[in-house]
Amino acid sequence: MQTTMLFAAVTAFGLAAVNESIRAAAKREEAIFGGGCFWCMEPPFARLDGVLEVTAGYSGGDEANPTYEQVSSGQTSHYEAVLVVYDPALISYRQLLETFWRQIDPTDAGGQFADRGRHYRTAIFYSTPEQRKEAELSLADLQQSGVFSKPVVTAILPAGPFYPAEDYHQDYYLKNIQHYNSYKVGSGRAGFLQRVWKEA
């Protein structure tokens, strides 16, 4: 019995070590998206195979170390954004872009749904020339698809510093499930995604 338990423990430890080695060996690239409220932008990326981490935060502004109070009240030039860390061997940047478009109203220049103000506008922040090219092609494809009758106004901007949001904002959709779901419906985002993309 003891031998069996010891073997199981060693095996479990070995599997954990192997999994950790795989995670460490994974190639890590980053993508930053502004899609309005970052609570709603975390889960669509977090559930994708090949995405390693998703962090809610602030980007696209000039001020260092912004707080939620500053950003949400329009005191900074930042967008609410998410930083997506992914393994390009498992998921492409283009696939991330396709996920991004399906979470937003890219024709709204004044915010997203019930959330108004520059910090809620949409943007793709590129870190490399390749990301910029992919973002521009993806935007052009969306515009030509006929899904939206109005122009796509989502900005494509060079990535600057990304500042993680406060801890209570991280994984909000898991920590505060009921409030998150109520907010997504009440803000108008859920209904929009259902009408446009037939999202459940």
For residue range 119-166, list pLDDT tens digits in order: 999 999 999 999 999 999 999 999 999 999 999 999 999 999 999 999
Q: Is residue 23 part of a domain?
A: no
Print the domain residue range for 191.
Answer: 28-197
Q: Is residue 10 part of a domain?
A: no
Percent of the chain with pLDDT over 70: 86
The active-site residue out of 30, 32, 36, 37 is 37
**pLDDT given at position 18:** 43
**Active-site annotation holds for 37:** yes
Percent of the chain with pLDDT over 90: 86
What span, in angstroms and rounded, lies between the C-alpha atoms of 187 and 192?
10
Q: Is residue 4 part of a domain?
A: no
Does the pLDDT value for residue 170 go beyond 50? yes
**pLDDT given at position 198:** 85
Q: Is residue 43 part of a domain?
A: yes
Mean pLDDT of the 73-94 span: 97
3-state secondary structure 140-181: HHHHHHCCCCCCCCCEEEECCCEEECCHHHCCHHHHCHHHHH
Does the pLDDT value for residue 9 go beyond 90? no
The number of domains in the chain is 1
